[in-house]
């Protein structure tokens, strides 16, 4: 079985984000970049499937040289192979452009199962997985919380939707997007990190993918960000000093009149 995990490199959730001068994107120059957290669940699921059923695991991404660090992190965890499509003319597109690039690469790889996170924490559009399945003509299930194998070519997928659990069956090849509850991603071991140093990152030749930069790159965007704004700064907190019998009435008043939680 060949399993491909499509990953994305995103700013760390702990990073201090700054918006660029024209207000349409994030300044990423000095940001700490990590593997998208939901993609980490997809990576873990691929590793667990390989441990149970055998096969080959591949991490695939679209990006610049910086994105190789995210692929290296996947190799450290135990992924067998890493592949990247990096061509400046293909970058800067929207989710559909990204899906088209991934789909073109996946047609060459021909996997049995495609896994990715349910969304990326930087854009949160949840659209790449379904778009990828549509482009490849494959069945798909989103926000998976549990996978159970029926046989070697079909499985049951559980997903939590509006307070209920749906259980769906689908046949391979297929696309599945991972939710946080699917598993607990492992930490890379020292042995895994040392083994990963010997694994190369394969650059996919974009000229062989048949992609038009005017369709999948920045020029082909169908969705544009008009403006980004940081959240308003928090108001300074108030410290009440004195004995409890003196401060409690004031605390109750503040909770009722200002915080409006009583």
CA distance 76 to 194: 8
Q: Residue 16: pLDDT above 90?
A: no
| pLDDT tens by residue, 18-42 | 788 887 777 767 778 899 999 999 9
Q: Please tell me whether residues 193 and 237 are part of one structural domain.
A: no
**Within-domain flag for 227:** no
Q: Please tell me whether residues 140 and 243 are part of one structural domain.
A: no
**Within-domain flag for 115:** yes
Q: Please tell me whether residues 252 and 174 are part of one structural domain.
A: no
Q: Please tell me whether residues 26 and 63 are part of one structural domain.
A: yes
| pLDDT tens by residue, 138-155 | 999 999 999 999 999 999
Quote the percentage of the chain above a pLDDT of 90: 60
Task: Identify the domain containing residue 238 by its residue range.
Answer: 232-262
Q: Please tell me whether residues 133 and 214 are part of one structural domain.
A: yes
**Looking at beta carbons, which pairs linking 102-107 to residues 24 or more positions away fall under 8 Å?**
102/6, 102/60, 102/62, 102/128, 102/132, 103/132, 103/135, 103/136, 104/209, 104/210, 104/211, 105/60, 105/204, 105/209, 106/4, 106/60, 106/132, 106/136, 107/136
Per-residue pLDDT at 58: 98
| pLDDT tens by residue, 154-199 | 999 999 988 899 999 999 999 999 999 999 999 999 999 999 999 9
Per-residue pLDDT at 124: 85
Instruction: State the average pLDDT for the chain.
Output: 91
**Within-domain flag for 226:** no
Q: Please tell me whether residues 166 and 92 are part of one structural domain.
A: yes
In contact, 86 and 63? CB cutoff 8 Å: yes
For the entire predicted model, the pTM comes to: 0.85
Q: Please tell me whether residues 153 and 245 are part of one structural domain.
A: no
Q: How many domains does the chain have?
A: 2
């Amino acid at each position: 079985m060949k399993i491909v995990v499509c990953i994305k490199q995103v700013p760390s959730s702990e990073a201090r984000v700054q918006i660029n001068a024209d207000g349409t994107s994030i300044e990423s120059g000095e940001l700490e970049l990590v593997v998208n957290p939901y993609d980490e669940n997809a990576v873990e699921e691929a590793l667990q499937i390989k441990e149970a059923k055998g096969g080959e695991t591949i991490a695939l991404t679209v990006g610049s040289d910086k994105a190789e660090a995210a692929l290296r992190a996947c190799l450290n965890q135990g992924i067998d192979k890493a592949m990247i499509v990096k061509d400046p003319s293909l970058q800067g597109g929207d989710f559909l452009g990204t899906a088209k690039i991934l789909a073109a690469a996946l047609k060459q790889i021909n996997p049995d199962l495609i896994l990715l996170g349910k969304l990326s924490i930087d854009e949160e559009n949840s659209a790449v997985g379904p778009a990828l399945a549509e482009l490849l003509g494959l069945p798909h299930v989103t926000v998976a919380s549990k996978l159970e194998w029926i046989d070697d070519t079909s499985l049951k997928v559980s997903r939590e939707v509006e307070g209920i659990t749906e259980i769906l069956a689908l046949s391979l090849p297929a696309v599945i997007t991972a939710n946080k509850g699917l598993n607990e991603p492992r930490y890379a071991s020292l042995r895994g990190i040392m083994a990963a140093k010997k694994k190369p990152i394969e650059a996919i030749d974009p000229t062989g993918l048949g992609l038009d930069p005017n369709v999948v790159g920045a020029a082909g965007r169908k969705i544009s960000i008009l403006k980004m704004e940081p959240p308003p700064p928090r108001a300074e907190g108030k410290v009440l000093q004195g004995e409890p019998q003196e401060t409690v009435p004031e605390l109750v008043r503040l909770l009722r009149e200002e915080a409006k939680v009583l």
